[in-house]
Amino acid sequence: MVAAHREVTAYKAREMQTRYTIHIMPSEWRWVVAVGCSLVLLAFLPLLWVALAGTGDWQFMGVLHNYLDGATYLSKMRLGVEGEWRVYFMHTPELHNGAFIQILYPFLGHVSRTVDVPPIILFHVGRVGAALFMYFALYQLAATIWMRVRTRRVFFAVAVLGAGFGWLLGPVTGQTLFPDFPLIPEAFLFFSTFMNVHFPLTLGLLAWLASLFISAFRPGAEGDPSIGRLWPLAGLISVALGLLYPQALVPFGAAVLLYMASLLFRGQRIPSSLWRWMLALILPAVPLALYYLGVVLMNPAMRIWNAQNVTEAPPLHVLLLGFGLPLLVGLPAIYRALRRFEMDGDRLMLLWLFSMLLLIYLPTNIQRRFAVGMMIPIAYFATRAIEDVWLRYISRRWRMLLLAVFLPLISMSQLLMLFLPVIPAVGGSPERAVGIFLQRDYAITLNALHAATQRDDVVLAAPVVGAWVPGWASARVVYGHPYETLNADQREQDVLRWYEGADPAFCAELIDRYNIRFILYGPQEAGIGPGCLEGLREVARAGTVTVYAP
């Protein structure tokens, strides 16, 4: 009897350990690896779909989502391949001084050259690594907050998959202002993995930083030496975020400052350890902020780029609809956090969310940038509300069914955004996926130009082709990007006017003004007009695309 009792007791202890644990158990990491790899595979499914379906005479140019920005990432990687660390805008014809901004992509270019892997392959490999890092960091945050394994997984699922009603309201209203469909991908974790390398990497660092500060701000943590030794890590993450996505530090830093101010306002003593953590977050970012300010003030090209780089926030009601069910589900927990304002994770998450909302609507030209990672605190409150409120009203036999409905429903926007770009190609109309696919003759031409051009050579091409020239051929273009082409509106009009061919005097003047070396004329240019081809010298031809020189 005694042995049997001990066996039952041991079994119950093991069962409790699988449900509640301070640390992350190996079985949990296996779950994260399995789920994370499945999500990465899902995110790459459209690329595999395109590869297997084929696109006939059309060439996939390398990036499915937001091809304009994707083309600039490849151009910056090409700079790194050529040994450069500073960023120059290759989508503009003007020569200008470079700057140490967005250095992740020149770094990847250096890696590409070192390991002899094409930049576009390394770009997608970087996406895989950044996504997996984000998933691991997010689960670390969940484990920092909750002891219950089920709750950790609920938070992980809501944070990764959660989005709003954009999938429904966007097509109905014909608007593209909803954060989840498709305005602010960096606010949504799974969505971010479609876009680039630095979005998921930034979100992973934010989740890691939040887990550190929640541990440090937890009552009684000032006496824990294992936590006290981690404050230098916060400084390293601050530097990394400052290099990757400096706007992400502003709302989180504001939340930490407000947290400290709330302690002072209530007359509480602030331990020296908390001051150390705050300084570790803020001080490393100050030199970077001063450098960025100096770059914008002293470098004319960067000043124009900064002025053009306008990302306005949607109206408040549209923003809230973009977070949909997770936000609605989390309202009871948000109300509880406002009412009690406890010193656990509630206070920091509430202040982080408040700081984002405040900064988004300040009169700046980068409003949307401050929404990076907004789904993390929203998922936190949704999870709090699910565990503390909503599960009380749902019987156990209905919970799995409701979960099976809830998760697909909150992920609809992200799933639609994942597959929308490839639908035209798979449906046999790749020409409708503007900029994602070009006629295959353009790819042949750009590869040939790569061997014949240098970085400062200027190529004239239609806007949609000009986006890809710097990343493929390592040459400048007259127009290729709404932000990274200086005086972009005027340059775009110049290109269109040249290909319309109505003013030969202007055409000659434009060639002289930018010392244009090569001019492309193919189906995309012919769609604009006949061009000013008279007097030009044909130097190469690839099917329907001809290369001219003045």
Span 335-359, pLDDT tens digits: 999 998 887 789 999 999 999 999 9
* pLDDT score at 5: 44
Burial-class residue 109 by CB neighbours within 10 Å (0-12, 13-18, 19+): buried
pLDDT averaged over the chain? 93
pLDDT tens, position by position, 199-255: 999 999 999 999 999 999 988 777 788 888 899 999 999 999 999 999 999 999 999
CA distance 480 to 435: 11
What is the pLDDT at residue 50?
Answer: 83
182 cis-preceded (ω within 30 degrees of 0): yes
Distances from the Cα of 423 to the Cα of 5, 129, 182, angstroms: 61, 26, 16
What confidence tens digit (pLDDT) does each residue in 448-472 have? 999 999 999 999 999 999 999 999 9
Local structure of 518: helix, strand or coil: strand
Q: What is the pLDDT of residue 18?
A: 55
* Residue the block writes with tokens 């008279």: 534
Nearest to 462 by CA among 394, 523, 548, 539: 523
The pLDDT of 289-312, averaged and rounded, is 96
pLDDT at 8: 40
Q: Which residue has the higher pLDDT, 423 or 376?
A: 376
In this prediction, residue 428 carries a pLDDT of: 83
One-letter amino acid at 526 equals A
How far apart are the C-alpha atoms of 48 and 440, rounded to whole Å? 19
Least confident of 203-207, 259-263, 396-400: 396-400
Residues sharing a CB contact under 8 Å with residue 431, sequence separation 6 or more, in sequence order: 58, 424, 437
Domain boundaries, the chain: 134-420, 438-549
Please count the CA atoms within 13 angstroms of the CA of 495 that sit on its side-chain side.
Answer: 33
Rounded to whole angstroms, the Cα distance separating 163 from 322 reads 7
User: Could you tell me whether strands 545-549 and 516-521 are parallel, antiparallel, or unpaired per DSSP bridges?
Assistant: antiparallel
For helices 375-388 and 149-161, the axis angle rounded to 10 degrees is 140
SS3 86: coil
User: Per-residue confidence at 38, pLDDT binned at 50, 70, 90?
Assistant: very high
Q: What is d(CA 188, CA 204) in angstroms, rounded to the nearest whole number?
A: 12
**Taking Cα atoms as reference points, which of 152, 185, 119 lies closest to residue 23?**
152
- Contact of 380 with 155, CB cutoff 8 Å: yes
pLDDT band at 4 (very low <50, low <70, confident <90, very high): very low
Q: How far apart are CA 16 and CA 30, in angstroms?
A: 19
Each residue's pLDDT tens digit, 467-488: 999 999 989 999 999 999 999 9
pTM of the full predicted structure?
A: 0.94
Q: How confident is the model at residue 154 (pLDDT cuts 50, 70, 90)?
A: very high
The pair of structure tokens assigned to 181 is: 């469909």
Give the tokens for residue 406: 């809830």
Q: What is the pLDDT of residue 300?
A: 96
* 184 in Cβ contact with 192 (< 8 Å): no
C-alpha–C-alpha distance, residues 209 and 345, integer Å: 13
Over residues 96-124, the pLDDT tens digits come to 999 999 999 999 999 999 999 999 999 99
pLDDT of 11:
39
CA distance 446 to 438: 11
Query: For residue 19, what pLDDT band results from cuts at 50, 70 and 90?
Result: confident
Distance of alpha carbon 126 from alpha carbon 148, whole angstroms? 32
Which tops the pLDDT comparison, 5 or 302?
A: 302
Strands 537-542 vs 516-521: parallel, antiparallel or unpaired? unpaired
Q: What is the mean pLDDT of residues 30-55?
A: 91
CA–CA dist 362, 236 (Å, integer): 28
Which residues fall within 8 angstroms of residue 279, CB to CB, at 6 or more apart?
Answer: none
